[in-house]
Amino acid sequence: MTTKMFTLLALLLLFALSLSGCSAPGAAPEAGAELTPSPDLPPSYAVVADGKVIPVRSAELSLETGGVVSEILVAEGEEVKLGQPLIRLTTADQLAAAVASAEVQEIIASQELEALQENAPLATALAMVRLAAARDELKDAEYRWRVQQEGKRATREVVKLAEARFAIAEKTLDQASDAYGDVSGRDIDDPLREQVLSDLVAAQERVNNTRRRLNWYTGHPSEIDQAILDGELAEAQANVLVAQKLYEDVKDGIDPDELELAAARVTQAEAQLKAAETALAQAELRAPFAGVVTALDLRQGEFVAPGIPVAWIADFSDWRIETTDLGEIDAVNVRAGDTATITLDALPDVELAGTVDTISGFGETRQGDITYKAVLRLEPPYPDLLWNMTAYVTILPELTASP
């Protein structure tokens, strides 16, 4: 027989005794008299169950990956904040460095993509300028190549003018030579002889200059000069082709292939950063909520296996009452929002008001009976409780009118 059945029998016995005490011994109740149940007894439709006090939140914590414990950062009984590190493995420092490196790579990839998107108009303008400059250089190279070829260095008029200047220079040289012959026998220091000799040297220089110019106008480049001209022309032509291709790639906006590649680099960097952060998170144990560390089961330098509980944490800022023997016959009448009263063995003079918060939909076998777990919140909250205190719960299901 379950505890609940014993409780019900006791309540019925007390109820009968209270009725018998309302009249004289051996006397039957007067006809038409109303029997009033004792105010200390719950209504007949009440659901009663044993329960226990639990924190509003609690959790047993384990590491997702195995390793050697490097640091235990908290002590039992210590209050912790949400996300506060509790335990760290020896691999954490190395993994933290990997996270930092991955963050840098992600920033670089993102900046490259942003620059590509923001600088598209500038890239188009620069490509246009580069193409124009390459075309101008090609024109210069073509001109230099063309004017160096035989018969292309000067017009017929320029050649005739050069020939005339050369003839005049030769005639002047002959005259200067004759004049010097007339005075060459004089002393070296003779002023007239010095003047005529100076005129002769100048005439010879003019002949040399006009001959070189005439020869250039009517000549052709040497093999070395021609090779240089050919190379300059080929380079200028290639530069134009490269500049033209670059402009074609950017004239309509960002090159789709380049944009796709930059976006792929960002995606890859983000994935690497996430993987590094995940690995680092698995090398640390952090508080899933603010609370108190109730127990630790590990030592520094010890190897811990993944999935094995090593720490326990609870939030004592509020309390809940959890039933332990709510049977299936009563559970079907209990709904979230039903009111209840709670008493505790440790606090016999205290009666608390509560409301059903949740009731599980899965029954568990307990001492041969199917029981369902109901969780009640206290209204108002009552702080002076301890974990696992024994509670006695009386739930008043909301009644529905009969048809």
Which CATH fold would you assign to the domain 42-88+291-396? Elongation Factor Tu (Ef-tu); domain 3 (2.40.30)
Q: Helix 156-183 crosses helix 191-218 at what angle (to 10 degrees)?
A: 160
For residue 403, what pLDDT is reported? 42
CA gap 157, 217 in Å, rounded: 11
Structure-block tokens of residue 246: 């670059």
CA gap 133, 122 in Å, rounded: 16
Given a contact cutoff of 8 angstroms between Cβ atoms, the answer to whether 392 and 343 are in contact is yes
Bridge partners, residue 284, by sequence: 88
Given a contact cutoff of 8 angstroms between Cβ atoms, the answer to whether 285 and 85 are in contact is yes
CA gap 219, 216 in Å, rounded: 5
Bridge partners, residue 352, by sequence: 342
Q: Which residues contact 93 (CB under 8 A, 6 or more apart)?
A: 70
For residue 15, what pLDDT is reported? 46
Given a contact cutoff of 8 angstroms between Cβ atoms, the answer to whether 55 and 316 are in contact is yes
Starting at the edge strand found earlier in the chain, the sheet holding 369-372 runs: 326-327, 369-372, 364-366
Quick one: which of 53, 46, 41 has its CA closest to 334? Answer: 46
Q: Helix 120-147 crosses helix 223-250 at what angle (to 10 degrees)?
A: 160
Bridge partners, residue 85, by sequence: 286
The DSSP string of 251-316 is: TTSS-HHHHHHHHHHHHHHHHHHHHHHHHHHHTEEE-SSSEEEEEE---TT-EE-TT-EEEEEEEE
Quick one: which of 52, 48, 43 has its CA closest to 394? Answer: 48
For residue 39, what pLDDT is reported? 46
Quick one: which of 92, 81, 98, 153 has its CA closest to 313? Answer: 81
Q: Helix 256-282 crosses helix 92-118 at what angle (to 10 degrees)?
A: 160
Q: Please provide the distance, in angstroms rounded to a whole number, between the alpha carbons at the two ends of the chain.
A: 35
Query: In a structure prediction context, what are the per-residue pLDDT tens digits for the chain, which is 403 residues long?
Result: 444 444 444 444 444 444 444 443 333 334 333 433 444 556 667 999 999 999 999 999 999 888 899 999 999 999 999 999 999 998 888 888 888 999 999 999 888 888 877 777 777 888 889 899 999 999 998 888 877 777 776 778 887 888 899 899 999 989 989 888 888 888 888 888 889 889 889 989 998 998 888 777 777 777 887 888 889 889 999 999 999 988 887 777 777 777 788 889 999 999 999 998 888 888 899 999 999 999 999 999 999 999 999 999 999 999 999 999 999 999 999 999 999 999 999 999 999 999 999 999 999 998 888 999 999 999 898 988 999 999 999 999 876 544 4
For residue 25, what pLDDT is reported? 38
Domain ranges of the chain: 42-88+291-396
Radius of gyration of the chain (CA): 54
Q: Helix 120-147 crosses helix 92-118 at what angle (to 10 degrees)?
A: 60
CA gap 42, 63 in Å, rounded: 48
